[in-house]
Amino acid sequence: MDQTNELFRSLILLIRTLRGDNGCPWDQKQTTESLKVYLQQEFQELMEALEEKSSEKIQEEMGDLIFLLLFVAEIAREQGDFSIEDVLENVKEKMIRRHPHVFGNLEVKNISQIRKNWKKIKEKEKLLASQQTLMDKLPRHLPGLLQAYWAMRKVDEMGLNEGGLPEAMEKAIHEMEKFRKSLANGDHEKARYELGDLLLTLVRLSRLLKVNPEEVVKEAVQRFINGVHFIEKNPLPKNEEKENFL
């Protein structure tokens, strides 16, 4: 199992490398929409391999399809939709829930009863899904910035966010002023609260600018590290001030 986990992880890291700054231009520009045709093609090729009962071809086509599915999951993670961890956790919970005769106390006598119970469970799941709130749907495995990005997008889709970039800019300035006042008053608990609101408004701005806040932060961190590295390699004379990178 350890080898499986390592191989799975290495494949995800490979996809992130391909889509990274120094990766492949083709992979970098792919979207979930552009990958649909390749998913259909690889699925069909897997079906043909299964019909031919060729172990070698089945293995190869399964690999291609798994790669594309992980590729889609990585794009979704970048966009703040969900992560591969969400996918795996959801399907695991679903399969446990749909097999109460294995993981629960339900007793069944034949496959017909299993099918009837499966149908009832699916109908209940659909009803519960329709009653879910925004908090229920929040992808827990995503980093905080991507959770905020996901929530902002959902709120936009619901028509609850008013205004565009100018209004969002004013909101950010307003939140910054509240944060400043909290610090000036020495109320650090209030400042912490206001800092959270300020970060949310900045995520809102990133959405309006059509940029991923997680990627923006990573790029900023890299610039910061590069600056520090430069100072480390090129120390200034003692009588000169170092640049304030923050």
pLDDT digits (tens, 9 = 90+) for 124-144: 777 666 666 776 777 776 778
Question: What is the chain's mean pLDDT, rounded?
Answer: 85
Highest mean pLDDT among 19-28, 74-83, 114-123: 19-28
Say yes or no to pLDDT of 69 above 90: yes
Say yes or no to pLDDT of 243 above 60: no
Confidence class for position 238, pLDDT limits 50, 70, 90:
low
CATH superfamily membership of 2-137: MazG-like (1.10.287.1080)
Using H for helix, E for strand and C for coil, what is the string for 132-177?
Answer: CCHHHHCCCCCCHHHHHHHHHHHHHHCCCCCCCHHHHHHHHHHHHH
Q: How far apart are CA 45 and CA 65, in angstroms?
A: 9
Give the pair of three-digit tokens for residue 116: 């009837």
Q: Residue type for 52, please?
A: E
Say yes or no to pLDDT of 246 above 60: no
Highest mean pLDDT among 34-43, 131-140, 215-224, 236-245: 34-43
Check residues 234 and 199 and name the one with the higher pLDDT.
199
Question: CATH 1.10.287.1080 in the chain, residues?
Answer: 2-137
Q: Across residues 160-172, what is the average pLDDT? A: 83
Q: Which residue has the tokens 């294995």?
A: 102
Contacts of 134 by beta carbon, 8 Å cutoff, 6+ apart: 151, 154, 155
Q: Report the b/e string of 2-21 with b at 16+ CB within 10 A.
A: eeeeeeeeeebeebeebbee
pLDDT of residue 163: 74
